A and B are shown apart, each in its own frame.
Chain A
Amino acid sequence: MARALDDPVSDTALTAVALNRFEYNRILERLGRPPNDLELGMFGALWSEHCGYKHSKALLRRLPTDSPRLLVRAGDENAGVVDIGDGMAIVFKIESHNHPSAVEPFEGAATGVGGIIRDIFTMGARPIALFDSLRFGPLDDARNRYLANGIVGGVGSYGNCVGIPTVGGEVVVEDCYAGNPLVNAMCVGLLRHQDLMLAEASGEGNPLILVGADTGRDGIQGATFASVEDPESSARGVVQVGNPFLEKLLIEACLEALSTDAIIGLQDLGAAGLTSSSVESAARAGAGVEIDVAKISRRAANMTPYEVMLSESQERMLVVAESGRESEVIDVFDKWGLHSDVIGSVTSDGSVTITESGKTVAHVPIEHLNEPPEYRLAVEFPDYLAGASALDISAIPEPKNVGEALLSLLSAPNIASKECIYRTYDQTVGSNTVAGPGADAAVLRIKGTERAIALSTDGNGRACYLNPKAGGAMAVAEAARNVVCAGARPIAITNCLNFGSPSDPMVYYQLYETIEGIAEACEAFGIPVTGGNVSLYNEAAGRQIYPTPVIGMLGLLENVETTTGIGFAAEGDVVAVMGDLAGSLDGSEFLKHFHGLIKGMLAIDLDREVAVQKACSAAIEAGLLRSAHDISDGGLAVALAESCFAGGVGVNVDSVPTEARIDELWFGESPSRILVSISPKHRSRLLDLTASVNVPLHIIGRVGGDRLKLARNADVSLDEARQIWSSGLANVLSGRMEAQYT
């Protein structure tokens, strides 16, 4: 196995494990000898971008991670753990599965869901909710439709079977995601503080038990595959196949086994399989591990140690049990019909030692494997930004008929109802769903308490493309605004950073600036980043995706009864806008939809944003608001239409005193604005409340009737508008109608 020093490894062999010559020399230096093939494969997997974060780690240190609510330090464990009071905590994390989904959409998306669920229950938490933020290329293209339908099918198939409700997410369509769709899945779990389990392999002599699926050849080098450009050129064989029934058994069996107190540590097998799970668990404990690959049950004959150690077969867990008590643990897995193998033990030598029937086939100090090189590149302002930000709004004619423009915008895939997708997801299993898809944020009650949590996932690739720093901050702000509209106070985020190839200076700049924006916004809100995931090399046919951070926001409601929906509630209620009445068209859906323009200068005033959100929270907690809805894509007109659809009642907006252009008034998308409705009797109290915190409040009209009447030229039937909005995405997704761009 050992390579002679004078037998240099070929460039092809290095490329196969996604390492470069510099990194290989670093390995030689650290080991003092050449690695054998297995050792080289292990380095390749753990030093891959996917596992090692070598291009992003230095930048990620900028993110704020301090909060008295955090029970574990951000990044140390599989997911963030946030105290929500009453001795309970929320465990949550978002992760990408973009590259597998580009190759095999159904299984790629399904295993993305399965992987993030394991990150949650491995910490002792019961998974209670899933979110899926999806981004597709234009749906008038058959390949993109195939990817979209496969991904939606995979998400639903896995989540429905495993019995965790899918309660929110996003669906965004942009040209840049053609051939490289984004699949970001977030899982949320609930635990009692005392049940928190860490992924530590500690205690010399404690047995390592591998539980769940047998190990096969699927997914070998999946981690390295996700760290190269153009995944389509690779074989579909690297994409794993999911088994949600097995995952359901693993959830129940692991949670039951944890109650025996005979488990020291628990770690799921994800990217880089047994290699990363064993090395990372041992690294956390400062220990070593010894594994005999001959003891691992296989799905295929004649698998080499390399294949066994780097397999990414799904639905497997690594259990570190207390020596002498392994049978208590194994009995629980037996009850659930799950196979378990004792495959090795914890050692004290700080190394990972792989043997095959007594013969050592790899031996590497864990500190070498676990410390990939970190790259810091020069941050250079990219040329495209100057052109993209130059928008001459005076050259764009104002729309003549606001009603027609609104109806057209309501049919756009990014604005239209996503119900045709989310109705294929079980949203209420678990009997905790107070608000699900279609709301600004999902709301889940916490059984046995008065509390509830609100969650939202938000990303805005287009904004980040035009101004990465402002876009990053706006993504955090919008996610926070969404949970605030549901009546919650934001307390923590997880984030998934989807970017192109970091070796492109443009992409590195975008990554640097977006992280800066996310950090500044988190500091303004006083909330920590609890962890997340970075997905680089997202490009197809030589084209980089928009820089696309997706923020998963966690909010807390002290009393679930105070939750507020987006729908207008009663005829005669007063309709008002908190924040500026009109918005900017820069980077808007309106500009893209009607003028084919992705242009503009984006900005966010974080002080104003925080003030508006605090005013909204105070008004909800004082019982003043009957509805609250974030004004975002499509602007005020679309927000009004959505509040009408959700409430089943029309609106008459007759007071819009503004100097702004008519399209800026109705379709501008500036942040820091919330559409609210109140009972007439609370009007003066709300005016006093907002004035006391210097937040503008514009009373614009009344709820009522069956039409959408907007001053300055719009009067459309609510039924007609709803019909167009309901069928817009369904029509293009089914291929019945080509996407219409006027």
Chain B
Amino acid sequence: MKACVVVFPGSNCDADTYHALKEVAGFDTDLRWHGDTDLEKYDLIVIPGGFAYGDHLRAGAIAHFAPAMRSVGEAAKRGVRILGICNGFQVLLEAGLLPGAMLRNDSLQFRHQWVDLRVESTETPFTAACGQGQVLRMPIAHGEGNYFADPETLRQMGHERRIVFRYSDEEGNVDPAHNPNGSAENIAGIIDEGGNVMGMMPHPERCSESILGGTHGALIWRSLGL
């Protein structure tokens, strides 16, 4: 597995993601600058969390114009696996590689907390090592993670099993009481029509080692290595 993490000015989970991919997953991993366009050699491209371009205008709004994002778009068309985490998810939405948009959290506050997620689909390269309906525990840390899409898009994604994670309780029950940000249908992660571009708000790179309080994040890397 040849992987890279794209670094934008203001990315701040780039080093953590690099550490998880290289030291935990054991992938051959590079950090690539947002101005780089030669991303052809990678099997996995990760857009990390943070505040790319300071989230000016709105999260991801400027980053999607970066030269590297043109190459990411081309790679997506070729079927290369693209993972956007947190701010990376927001960038993929702004780039049109995933449907929908992010609104401010319904609390109107930045929220950091550990959440439970129900795995809705194991038929993706990112979740193949998970069990159907398995509950994963991961941290979230965002101010704009309130996922929105029109009812038709939501219906279609549900029909095509493209909703990958939903916020739930620890038993896997999906209800409004366990929705940390107001997301439509408790959505925490989705995948594109081609099945190779995934965005998720929780941070698997922060829970891939037991000393950090959980290892469920490593299931994502294990899935990608299958």
Q: A431 near B112 (CB under 8 angstroms)? A: no
Q: B51 near A163 (CB under 8 angstroms)? A: yes
The answer to whether B120 has its CB under 8 Å from any CB of chain A is no
Q: A428 near B211 (CB under 8 angstroms)? A: no
Chain B residues within 8 Å of A489, by CB: none
Q: A431 near B16 (CB under 8 angstroms)? A: yes
Chain B residues within 8 Å of A156, by CB: 110
Q: A248 near B211 (CB under 8 angstroms)? A: no
CB distance from B162 to the nearest CB of A (A): 28
Within 8 A of B (CB), among A302-349: 336-337
Chain A residues within 8 Å of B143, by CB: 160
A322 CA / B12 CA spacing, docked (Å): 30
Q: Say which one of A31-39, A269-277, A372-380, A419-427 lies at the interface with B.
A: A419-427
The answer to whether A561 has its CB under 8 Å from any CB of chain B is yes
Q: A428 near B112 (CB under 8 angstroms)? A: yes
Q: A429 near B13 (CB under 8 angstroms)? A: yes
Could you say which of B12, B109, B110, B212 contacts A248, with CB atoms under 8 Å apart? B12
Q: How many residues of B contact A (CB 8 A)?
A: 31
Q: B110 near A426 (CB under 8 angstroms)? A: yes
A160 CA / B206 CA spacing, docked (Å): 15
Chain B residues within 8 Å of A93, by CB: none
Identity of the chain B residue whose Cβ is nearest the Cβ of A164 in the assembled complex: B12
Could you say which of A245, A428, A434, A445 contacts B203, with CB atoms under 8 Å apart? A428
Chain A residues within 8 Å of B109, by CB: 423-424
Binary CB contact string for chain B from 97 to 136 against chain A (1 if under 8 A, 0 otherwise) = 0000000000001111100000000000000000000000
Chain B residues within 8 Å of A246, by CB: 54
Identity of the chain A residue whose Cβ is nearest the Cβ of B11 in the assembled complex: A163
Could you say which of B53, B110, B112, B211 contacts A245, with CB atoms under 8 Å apart? B53
Q: B111 near A447 (CB under 8 angstroms)? A: no
Q: B9 near A337 (CB under 8 angstroms)? A: yes
The answer to whether A560 has its CB under 8 Å from any CB of chain B is yes
Q: A434 near B211 (CB under 8 angstroms)? A: yes
Within 8 A of B (CB), among A228-267: 243-246, 248-249
Chain B residues within 8 Å of A447, by CB: 19
Within 8 A of B (CB), among A421-451: 422-434, 445, 447
Could you say which of B9, B50, B111, B212 contacts A431, with CB atoms under 8 Å apart? B212
Q: A429 near B141 (CB under 8 angstroms)? A: yes
Chain A residues within 8 Å of B53, by CB: 245
CB distance from A28 to the nearest CB of B (A): 48
Chain B residues within 8 Å of A336, by CB: 9
Could you say which of A157, A160, A244, A434 contacts B141, with CB atoms under 8 Å apart? A160
The answer to whether B88 has its CB under 8 Å from any CB of chain A is no
Given contacts A423-B111, A424-B109, A426-B141, is CB(A431)–CB(B206) below 8 Å?
yes
Q: A428 near B206 (CB under 8 angstroms)? A: yes
A435 CA / B105 CA spacing, docked (Å): 26
The answer to whether B55 has its CB under 8 Å from any CB of chain A is yes
Chain A residues within 8 Å of B16, by CB: 429-431
A560 CA / B15 CA spacing, docked (Å): 21
Identity of the chain B residue whose Cβ is nearest the Cβ of A156 in the assembled complex: B110
Chain B residues within 8 Å of A81, by CB: none
Could you say which of A162, A422, A427 contacts B12, with CB atoms under 8 Å apart? A162
The answer to whether A161 has its CB under 8 Å from any CB of chain B is yes
The answer to whether B145 has its CB under 8 Å from any CB of chain A is no
Given contacts A245-B10, A433-B212, A560-B211, is CB(A427)–CB(B50) below 8 Å?
no
Identity of the chain A residue whose Cβ is nearest the Cβ of B203 in the assembled complex: A428
A427 CA / B139 CA spacing, docked (Å): 9
CB distance from B225 to the nearest CB of A (A): 19
9 cross-chain CB contacts under 8 A: A157-B110, A161-B12, A161-B51, A245-B53, A248-B12, A249-B9, A249-B10, A428-B212, A429-B16
Residues of chain A having any CB pair with chain B under 8 Å:
156-157, 160-163, 243-246, 248-249, 336-337, 422-434, 445, 447, 560-561
List 6 other contacts, CB 8 Å, given A248-B54, A423-B111, A423-B113. Answer: A248-B51, A425-B110, A431-B205, A431-B208, A445-B211, A561-B211
